[in-house]
Amino acid sequence: MKKTSIFARIRSTIARHKIKSSVIVIIAILGGYWWYHTANSASTVPQYVLTRARTGTITQTVTGTGQVSASNQQDVKSQVSGAIETINVSVGDHVKKGDLLATIDSSSAYISLQNAKLSLAKLTEPAKPGDLLNAQNNLQKAYNDAFTATANIYIDMPNIMAGMKDLFYSQNGFLSNQKSASLVTSAGVFRNSAGQSFDTLTAQYNNAATEYKGFSRASATSSLDSLFADTYAMIKSAAETLKNTQNTIAYITSTQPDYFTSSASSASSNIVTWSNQVNSDLGSLVSAQNSIQSSLNTLNNLVTGTDALDIQSSKLSLQQQEQSYANYFIRAPFDGIVGRIPVNQYDQASGGTVIATIVGQQKIATISLNEIDAAKVQTGQLATITFDAIDGLTATGTVSQVDLVGTVTQGVVTYNVKILVNSNDQRIKAGMSVNTTIITSQKSGIMIVPTSAIKTLGKISYVNIFDKLPTSAASSTSISNRNGFGSTTGRFNEQFASTTSTDSSVNSNSSVYYRRNASTTYNGSFAGSGSNTNGTNNSQGQNRTTTITSTTAPRQQTVTTGVSDDTNTEITNGLNGGEWIVTKTITTGTAATTAAPSILSSLGGNRGTTGGAATRVTGR
């Protein structure tokens, strides 16, 4: 009998029972799927990352970038002209305010200064007997000269007055009543005005001449002063009358050329001659009167001393000359460093020539902040400064100025903030780029928790806490540094160290080791032994965390929050300190998974098992 293979028999059976075979296959597939899904499903076991509420410090900062500039930078310019005689400094020299930088030829200014000193000395020195006598003689001579000038006036005036009288009142006078009848109206007005002026002069002259006859050179000076004054008034009136008469003759000859042509030329010539004589006499008298006043002032100064106002005026003149002389010596306007010297010795300087540039030693970092950050910054706040061009250098600074008016660029408002750099490092130069961090607020000794642990429900804030921790659970412990310098994590399967250690923090430079026997070592001391219980925190920025597995859910604790920074938030109410706060919840599912059998497995196929794990972190 021919032997049939097992596969042939299966195919034959399926062919005879197609419907039953199909149902069996479907049932097998569904059963395998159910078995596979059940094998890979396990109950989720939540894990919680915990940290303790602790006392710490919250620091709020504002950061910005900008450039370095000098507090003062000034071109020192010459205010005078001249050759540069000396240059007394070099580029890079440190100078103090008032130090001599350069000198300009000051010979002419020195002479002017000495003259001003001499002038003041003459006004303030006591009178000498010889000077007093000379002053008296000069005054007497001035009176003699004035009397001579007055006498000359009364010698010349009779002839002038007679000629003027003929001009106006003789029958053939150019401006007589008989001749002026043919003048046009406008010319007649000029003639009448000149005639009235002459009549007034005649009366004034007669009075002055009569007064003059009663004086001599020996008359009292007060009487002579009165004579000189009256004579001056008369001779000045004569000059004005002659001028009016000359203008009248010129007007008549120009508007009526045919008027009394035979006398026009002589009348005009006589008026010019008389006017010149009167003006000359007037000038002599005025000069003599001025000489009297000057000599009298000199004598009075010698007798009673110089007038206080004259002394003050001379002192002001001396101060001006001293300042002018000082301008030839170029000095540093403030403490600083010589940045450049663009001139050479013996160059010709003029007003405005730059002699040197002085840069202040105090450096300023100027940054630009948006309106939100600028509102938090105030003068006097501390700052840290780093420099792009100087590796490893961190300087401190103080905010010195915050702009009150912002700059709008494309709709964005920014405010400039100036920070005094508290460093004399010579590597810091104007124009360097800086990164600054300004401490706008700092609160110490407050209750803080990680910001990630705080949840909100409407207007209510709360944290999840464990009132009591399990005494035995799979757990891990780590210390995280909020400054981002790293963290250290250890795992163990026995009692975790935090249940026996009461320290709330660790030095930021410490190393953390964990052993399977649950003793946690910090720099050689075991936390599990309870030896590190001082509660001292050398780094306010570290949060120690512990991960536990618990079937008991934490409870919600309502809290009131205060200020916060990038990592932590202040708790003002709701916690006492030391509570275990949930910062993160981890849900983990694990199970040994058996592979679903294939249809052929019962016919000799192999079966195998695999293991797997999945982790989900929630932000609850």
* pLDDT of residue 597 exceeding 80: no
3-class SS at 47?
Answer: strand
Residue 20 forms part of a structural domain:
no
Single-letter amino acid, residue 483: N
Owning domain of residue 268: 129-304
* pLDDT of residue 184 exceeding 70: yes
3-class SS at 375?
Answer: coil
- In this prediction, what percent of the chain has a pLDDT beyond 70? 80
Residue 210 forms part of a structural domain:
yes
Mean pLDDT of 284-288: 94
Lowest mean pLDDT among 16-25, 194-203, 330-339, 431-440: 16-25
Q: What is the DSSP letter of 136?
A: H
Query: Cα(505)–Cα(536) distance, rounded to whole angstroms?
Result: 7
Looking at residue 128, its pLDDT comes to: 74
What confidence category does residue 484 fall into, taking pLDDT thresholds of 50, 70 and 90? very low
Query: Cα(252)–Cα(573) distance, rounded to whole angstroms?
Result: 114
Query: Cα(186)–Cα(251) distance, rounded to whole angstroms?
Result: 9
47, 547 contact by CB (below 8 A): yes
Lowest mean pLDDT among 445-459, 488-502, 570-584: 488-502
Residue 343 forms part of a structural domain:
no
Q: What is the mean pLDDT of the chain?
A: 80
Lowest mean pLDDT among 17-31, 164-178, 270-284, 476-490: 476-490
Residue 258 forms part of a structural domain:
yes
Residue 156 forms part of a structural domain:
yes
Mean pLDDT of 179-201: 91
Looking at residue 588, its pLDDT comes to: 61
What confidence category does residue 232 fall into, taking pLDDT thresholds of 50, 70 and 90? very high
* pLDDT of residue 483 exceeding 60: no
What confidence category does residue 134 fall into, taking pLDDT thresholds of 50, 70 and 90? confident
Burial 489-507 (b: 16+ CB within 10 A, else e): ebebeebbbbbbbebbbbe
Looking at residue 542, its pLDDT comes to: 62
Residue 480 forms part of a structural domain:
no
Query: Cα(494)–Cα(473) distance, rounded to whole angstroms?
Result: 6
Single-letter amino acid, residue 285: L
What confidence category does residue 7 fall into, taking pLDDT thresholds of 50, 70 and 90? low
Tokens of 379: 């003068």
Instruction: Report which of residues 197 and 589 the model is more confident about.
Output: 197
* pLDDT of residue 42 exceeding 90: no
* pLDDT of residue 576 exceeding 50: yes
* pLDDT of residue 558 exceeding 70: yes
What are the two backbone dihedrals, phi and then psi, of residue 395, each rounded to the nearest 5 degrees? -105, 160
User: Cα–chain-centroid distance for residue 565?
Assistant: 32
Mean pLDDT of 294-313: 82
- DSSP E strand boundaries for 554-604: 555-564, 568-573, 580-594
- Nearest to 547, CA basis, from 453, 617, 475, 480: 475
Looking at residue 38, its pLDDT comes to: 59
Instruction: Report which of residues 279 and 478 the model is more confident about.
Output: 279
- Which ranges of 170-260 would DSSP assign to H, the alpha helix? 177-180, 185-212, 221-255
Query: Cα(338)–Cα(340) distance, rounded to whole angstroms?
Result: 6
Mean pLDDT of 557-564: 92
What are the two backbone dihedrals, phi and then psi, of residue 472, each rounded to the nearest 5 degrees? -145, 120
pLDDT tens column, 512-556: 333 333 333 333 332 333 333 333 333 345 678 888 888 888 999
409, with CB counted inside 10 A (0-12, 13-18, 19+), is exposed
Mean pLDDT of 215-241: 93
User: CA-CA distances (angstroms) from residue 236 to 213, 229, 276, 444, 445?
Assistant: 20, 11, 12, 96, 99
383, 377 contact by CB (below 8 A): no
119, with CB counted inside 10 A (0-12, 13-18, 19+), is middle
Q: What is the DSSP letter of 503?
A: -
Looking at residue 12, its pLDDT comes to: 73
Residue 332 forms part of a structural domain:
no
Angle between helices 129-169 and 261-304 (to 10 degrees): 160
Query: Cα(86)–Cα(78) distance, rounded to whole angstroms?
Result: 13
Query: Cα(442)–Cα(595) distance, rounded to whole angstroms?
Result: 60
149, 281 contact by CB (below 8 A): yes
Number of structural domains in the chain = 1
Tokens of 364: 């300023």
* pLDDT of residue 491 exceeding 90: no
* pLDDT of residue 385 exceeding 90: yes
* pLDDT of residue 614 exceeding 70: no
Tokens of 544: 């120690």
Instruction: Report which of residues 14 and 506 the model is more confident about.
Output: 14
What confidence category does residue 55 fall into, taking pLDDT thresholds of 50, 70 and 90? very high
Looking at residue 135, its pLDDT comes to: 86
* pLDDT of residue 81 exceeding 70: yes
**Would you tell me how many other CB atoms lie within 10 Å of the CB of residue 269?**
10
Looking at residue 39, its pLDDT comes to: 55
Residue 383 forms part of a structural domain:
no
Q: How long a stretch of residues is the chain?
A: 620
Single-letter amino acid, residue 354: V
133, with CB counted inside 10 A (0-12, 13-18, 19+), is exposed
Element (H, E) at 310: helix 308-326
Query: Cα(522)–Cα(519) distance, rounded to whole angstroms?
Result: 10
**Would you tell me how many other CB atoms lie within 10 Å of the CB of residue 335?**
16
Looking at residue 3, its pLDDT comes to: 52
* pLDDT of residue 480 exceeding 50: no
27, 525 contact by CB (below 8 A): no
In three state form, how does the secondary structure of 114-136 look?
A: HHHHHHHHHHHCCCCHHHHHHHH
* pLDDT of residue 224 exceeding 80: yes
- Nearest to 445, CA basis, from 358, 298, 570, 307: 570
Instruction: Report which of residues 498 and 427 the model is more confident about.
Output: 427
Burial 547-585 (b: 16+ CB within 10 A, else e): bbebeeebeebebebebebebbbbbeebbeeebbbbbbb
- Nearest to 158, CA basis, from 210, 194, 214, 196: 210
Query: Cα(155)–Cα(231) distance, rounded to whole angstroms?
Result: 13
What confidence category does residue 210 fall into, taking pLDDT thresholds of 50, 70 and 90? very high
pLDDT tens column, 247-264: 999 999 999 999 988 888
Lowest mean pLDDT among 71-75, 330-334, 413-417: 71-75
Residues 6+ apart with CB under 8 A from 329: 100, 103, 104, 106
- Nearest to 544, CA basis, from 483, 500, 503: 503
pLDDT tens column, 349-366: 999 999 999 988 888 999
Residues 6+ apart with CB under 8 A from 413: 370, 371, 406, 407
3-class SS at 416?
Answer: strand
Angle between helices 261-304 and 221-255 (to 10 degrees): 150
Looking at residue 37, its pLDDT comes to: 62
* pLDDT of residue 495 exceeding 70: no
